[in-house]
Structure 1
Amino acid sequence: MNIDAIFTDLDAHTLDPARPRAQKIGVFAGRIIGFDEELDGITADRVESLDGATVLPGFNDVHCHTAWFGLTLASIDVTALPGGLPDVYAALEKAAATTPAGEWINATGYAHRDYDGQYPELSRLDEITGERPLFMRQTSGHAAIVNTEAMRQAGILEADFTEPVGGKVVRDAAGHPTGLLEETAQALVQDLIRPYSLDTIVEAIDLATAYYAKEGITSFGDCGIAYGWIGHSPIEITAYLRAREQGKLRARGQLMPQADGLHEIAANSADGFGIGLDAGVRTGLGDEFISLGPVKFFMDGALSGETAALRENYVGKDHPGYLQADAEALRKQILDTYASGWSVAVHAIGDAAVDAAVANIVDAQARYGRRAVPNRIEHAGIVHDEHLRTLADNGIVVTPQAAFADGIGDGMNASLGPERRPLLYRAKSFVDAGIMVPGSSDRPCADGNVLRGIEAYVTRKTRAGDVMGAAGESLTPDEAIAAYTSVAAEASGQGADRGTLTRGKLADFVALGAHPAEVAPDEISQIPVRATVLGGRFTHDAR
């Protein structure tokens, strides 16, 4: 018998208890056909030595923003510039010098906590940009900084302007806009730029997934596409299909439409259809390369900008954040969506938002049953003990991002104070309670490198040397690896095809210079990725 490929000289940790380790992997038609002695007497078109590498199942980032990340790679990067705000202004000046009048200047990566809590002065931005509208997205994605020209074009400066539901145009003491737009208010300016062309999105997917390949990522969930302030085009799925056709999609994507695109469908009344997308498409449609996942809902904002909805006020502030819309309207939208066959992924960070998200998902499942693709709470930033059993009993997935520890962990600790801090972005408590915790980054809102994510799960180390939340929430290296592999697959409803190295599953794996459990915790991120294999073929090869 002749097969497509045999990978040799490796130490595979399969995460499959039926065969925990292997030294050879055989591949046929993109899937694993056997291991070790099962390959005796079998020949292959290719025999690939992995030079003694540690092999793990391919990494899966279940909550990232792939097209958005690709766009940031082509934008001005103002992430934590060493010289402070003067460096930000200098980067914008350089861009303005080569941008014709009237054209947009796009920047990304601004985080006020990296600049001593400061935001750029609107007058200085106007001086630099002149007639060129500016859109500078904050790292969290939940706010943006714009100039006067952008606000003028968006109608924000008109006398009869009214703020959008779920967002805010931040103003100074005199009532003048500062250039900071929170949450849904960003869309007022974004809609002047969008929709992006298919060619632009395809190029972004190409850039992003080439980056993923170098980091061992073989699967991802693009969490919020096509609609709302987080989408790029109402035909964004077509961009993914085109990227695949052109060989520019180097990882398997589960695409999660943003709920703003859902609408009434003129189905037969006997079908009990709630709201959905045209033609009745729903979660599960697709194949092993591109499929539709849950619908993404926003309950609240972010802790980094103190817009997440808390039960009690932020430390030193007179407000607890806010929900993105009326609580009852959100509940009805979630129930109507679930009735139409969609699974749901509800962004809920503050504990008040988590309260509502848990109640809504439990209600939906009680009415309509569970889904093959589990329902999720995205981020689950502040979860009380009272919810742990409910989450586990109802099979609800949570996606806390350990990678937030470095960039915004110190700020979130301060915003919550010592009493609430132990509830922040928990992990071990979830795992011990039997709740699925898949690995995710929220990239580009945080570092998406999976090995750094695994390290962050283990150390929870912040930039100032503290820990995010409680040190007792740390995972072991093996638990963190499972989060990005086997648990990620199950949490995405894809455990039959990926997540472990098992005969019959997709031949997706990563070859590393060492096993994360065999190095010091703060050295996990330094492990080299020697190769990434997707369906038996290299997407990255640094052997």
Structure 2
Amino acid sequence: MRIDAIFTDLDAHTLDPARPRATKIGVFGNRIIGFDEELDGVTADRVESLGGATVLPGFNDVHCHTAWFGLTLASVDVTALPGGLDDVYSALEKAAATTPAGEWIDATGYAHRDYDGQYPELARLDEITGDRPLFMRQTSGHAAIVNTEAMRRAGILDADFEEPVGGKVVRDAAGHPTGLVEETAQALVQDLIRPYSLDTLVEAIDLATAYYAKEGLTSFGECGIAYGWIGHSPIEITAYLRAREEGKLRARAQLMPQADGLHTIAANSADGFGIGLDAGLRTGLGDNLISIGPVKFFMDGAMSGETAAMRENYAGKDHPGYLQDDPDVLRRQILDTYASGWSLAVHAIGDAAVDAAIENIVDAQKKYGRRAVPNRIEHAGLVHDEHLATLAEHGIVVTPQAAFAEAIGDGMNASLGADRRRLLYRAKSFIDAGVPMAGSSDRPCADGNVLRGIEAYVTRATRDGDVMGSAAECLSVDEAIAAYTSQAAIGSGQGADKGTLSRGKLADFVAVDTHPRNVAPDEISTIPIRATILGGTFTHDAR
């Protein structure tokens, strides 16, 4: 028998209890056909030595923003610049010098916590940019900083301007805009830039997934596309199809449309259709390279900017954040969407938002049953003990980001105060309670390197030497690896095809220099990636 490839000289940790370890992997037709003695007498078109590397199932980041990340790679980066706001102004000055008059300056990576809680002065931004509109996105994605020209073009300065539902234009004590726009208010400016062209999006996907390959990523969930303030074009799926056709898609993509685009569908009354997308598009369409996942809903905002909806006020503040819309409106949208065949991915960070998200998903499942692609709570930032059994009983997946610990963990701890911080971005409690938990980064809102994410699950270390939330939520190395492999596949409804190295599953794996258990916890992120293999083909090869 002759097959496509045999990978040798490796130590595979398969995460499959039926065969936990292997030293050879055979591939035929993009899938694993056998291991070790099963390959005796078998020849192959290619025999690839991995030089003694440790092999793990391919990494899977179930909640990231790939096109957005690709766009940031071509933007002005203002992430944690060492010289403070002066360095931010300097970076924008350099950009303005090469940007034609009237054209947009696009910057990304600003986090006020990196700058002692400060925001750039609007007058200084205007001085630098002149008639060039500025859109500078905060790292969280839930707020942006704009200049006066951008606000003028967006109508924010008009006398009859009204705040959008679920968003805010932040003003000073005199009522003047400061340049900070939160949540849905960002779309007022973004809509002047969008839709991005397909050429631009294909280039962004190309840049992003080339980056992913170097980090061992073979699958990802593109969380929130096509619509709303997080989407880039109403034909964003086409950009992914083009990237695939042009050889620029280097990982398997589960695409998750943003709920803002859903609308009433004039289907036959017997079908019980609520709201959806045209032609009956829904969760489950596609193949093992590009598929349609759940619909992404926003219940609330971000804890880093204190817009996430809490039961009680933030520590030392007079407000508890806010939901993105009236709770009854959000509930009706979620139930109508589920009735139409879509699975749900509900962004809920604050505990008030988590309360509503759990109630709505449970009610939807009771009425319409469970789906092959499970329902999820994205982030699940503040989950109380009483929620755990409900989440487990109903098979609701959670996607907490341990990757937030380093950059914004200290700030979130402070926002919650001593009594609530133990509930912050839990991990071990989910696993111990039997709640399905899938690994993710929310990139570019946080560092998306999976080995760094695994390290963060293990240490939860913050920038100031604390831990995010509670040390009781730290995972073992094996639990953290499973979150980004086997559990990520299950949480995406794709466990039959990936997540473990098993005969018949897709031949997606990553070769690293050593197993993460073999190094100190705070050194996991430094382990070199030797190779990334997608369907038996190298997407990254540093042997």
The CA deviation at 1:236 is 0.2
Partners of 1:272 and 1:473 in 2: CA distance? 43
Partners of 1:270 and 1:341 in 2: CA distance? 14
Structure 1 equivalent of residue 315 of structure 2: 315
Structure 2 equivalent of residue 167 of structure 1: 167
Segments of 5+ residues of structure 1 without an aligned counterpart are none
Structure 1 equivalent of residue 366 of structure 2: 366
Q: Percent identity?
A: 86
Structure 2 equivalent of residue 529 of structure 1: 529
Partners of 1:29 and 1:374 in 2: CA distance? 28
Tell me the amino acid that sits aligned with residue 525 of structure 1: S
Partners of 2:489 and 2:305 in 1: CA distance? 31
The CA deviation at 1:413 is 0.1
Structure 1 equivalent of residue 520 of structure 2: 520
Mapped pair 1:331 → 2:338: no
The CA deviation at 1:295 is 0.1
Partners of 1:89 and 1:177 in 2: CA distance? 19
Tell me the amino acid that sits aligned with residue 453 of structure 1: G
Structure 2 equivalent of residue 56 of structure 1: 56
SS of the residue aligned with 1:361?
A: helix
Partners of 1:12 and 1:221 in 2: CA distance? 25
Mapped pair 1:188 → 2:169: no
Structure 2 equivalent of residue 486 of structure 1: 486
After superposition, residues 13-412 of structure 1 pair within 5 angstroms as 13-412=13-412
Q: Map Cα deviations across residues 189-239 of structure 1 (whole Å, 9 max, x no partner).
A: 000000000000000000000000000000000000000000000000000
Partners of 1:146 and 1:213 in 2: CA distance? 33
Partners of 2:172 and 2:281 in 1: CA distance? 45
Partners of 2:111 and 2:215 in 1: CA distance? 24
Tell me the amino acid that sits aligned with residue 224 of structure 1: G
Segments of 5+ residues of structure 2 without an aligned counterpart are none
Q: TM-score normalised to the size of structure 2?
A: 1.00
Partners of 1:451 and 1:487 in 2: CA distance? 16
SS of the residue aligned with 1:321?
A: coil
Structure 1 runs of 4+ aligned residues shifted over 3 Å read none
Partners of 2:287 and 2:336 in 1: CA distance? 26
Tell me the amino acid that sits aligned with residue 349 of structure 1: I
The CA deviation at 1:518 is 1.3
Structure 1 equivalent of residue 465 of structure 2: 465
SS of the residue aligned with 1:418?
A: coil
Q: Map Cα deviations across residues 459-491 of structure 1 (whole Å, 9 max, x no partner).
A: 000000000000000000000000000000001
Partners of 2:374 and 2:336 in 1: CA distance? 17
The CA deviation at 1:517 is 1.1
SS of the residue aligned with 2:191?
A: helix
Tell me the amino acid that sits aligned with residue 410 of structure 1: D
SS of the residue aligned with 2:490?
A: helix
Partners of 1:503 and 1:383 in 2: CA distance? 37
The CA deviation at 1:345 is 0.3
Partners of 2:417 and 2:471 in 1: CA distance? 15
Partners of 1:525 and 1:461 in 2: CA distance? 13
Q: TM-score normalised to the size of structure 1?
A: 1.00
Partners of 2:523 and 2:437 in 1: CA distance? 23
Mapped pair 1:443 → 2:439: no
CA RMSD of aligned residues (A): 0.3
SS of the residue aligned with 2:418?
A: helix
SS of the residue aligned with 1:83?
A: coil
Partners of 1:98 and 1:388 in 2: CA distance? 53
Q: How many residues align?
A: 543
Structure 1 equivalent of residue 428 of structure 2: 428
Mapped pair 1:509 → 2:489: no
Partners of 2:394 and 2:436 in 1: CA distance? 11
Q: Map Cα deviations across residues 233-282 of structure 1 (whole Å, 9 max, x no partner).
A: 00000000000000000000000000000000000000000000000110
The CA deviation at 1:114 is 0.1
Partners of 1:81 and 1:449 in 2: CA distance? 20
Partners of 1:249 and 1:440 in 2: CA distance? 19
Partners of 1:147 and 1:17 in 2: CA distance? 56
Partners of 1:325 and 1:407 in 2: CA distance? 29
Q: Map Cα deviations across residues 3-54 of structure 1 (whole Å, 9 max, x no partner).
A: 1100000000000000000000000110000000000011101000000000
SS of the residue aligned with 2:497?
A: coil
